[in-house]
Amino acid sequence: MTTELRAGTPETRLKALGRLLPDNPPSPIGTFKNVRRSGNMLYVSGQGPVLPDGSLLKGKVGGDVTAEEARDHAELVALNIIAALRQFLGSLDHVSGVVKLLGLVNATPEFEHHPHVIDGASNILARVFDDKRGHARSAFGVSSLPNQITVEIEAIFELSDDALHQVSCWEN
């Protein structure tokens, strides 16, 4: 990791990565919120590979989508997770780290590389949030996902100690 990525805040590390976030995270497709706070934890609902124009990346991993393509899709999902966090908090600098990811891969029954796919999201999140402690994670295959998207990932983050004194305005 470069010095630029090791130093600074999540916002400066994201900028140093050169990755652009969508102006707005994808809207939920059901009766739920993108982010919910409980105490010092932030729960991000399952996000999918939604491009800035709203189009979905679809397919069956191990069939019409390769593991490498799906890994790229997981990176996009991580950016959508980050966008949901930023919209909720106003700044990524209120986050102290990634606690856990749950990654679902829309895969053929023979596909075995689910962790490789979800590493696409883990790697981006670890770099942005300087995840020295590492995060917990589960990654597994499913027979389908909403709208036939390739990957869905939900995440749990921890608020920084400094942010806890400022969060009275954030809903629980």
Residue 4 CB partners (closer than 8 Å, separation 6+): 12, 13, 16
The arithmetic mean of pLDDT across residues 78-92, rounded, is 95
Q: Predicted confidence band at 19 (pLDDT cuts at 50, 70, 90)?
A: confident
The pLDDT tens digits for 39-62 are 999 999 999 999 988 999 999 999
DSSP class of residue 94? G
Token pair for residue 22?
A: 């969508």
- Protein fold of 3-21+28-160: 60s Ribosomal Protein L30; Chain: A; (3.30.1330)
Residue 54's region, left for phi above 0, alpha for psi from -120 to 50, else beta, is left
Contact indicator for 57, 149 with CB cutoff of 8 Å: yes
Cα dihedral 97, 162, 33, 12, rounded to 10, equals: -60
User: What pTM was estimated for this model as a whole?
Assistant: 0.90
Q: Where are the domains of the chain?
A: 3-21+28-160
The arithmetic mean of pLDDT across residues 124-148, rounded, is 93
Query: Quick check: helix, strand or coil at residue 103?
Result: strand
Cα radius of gyration (the chain): 16
pLDDT at 167 over 90: no
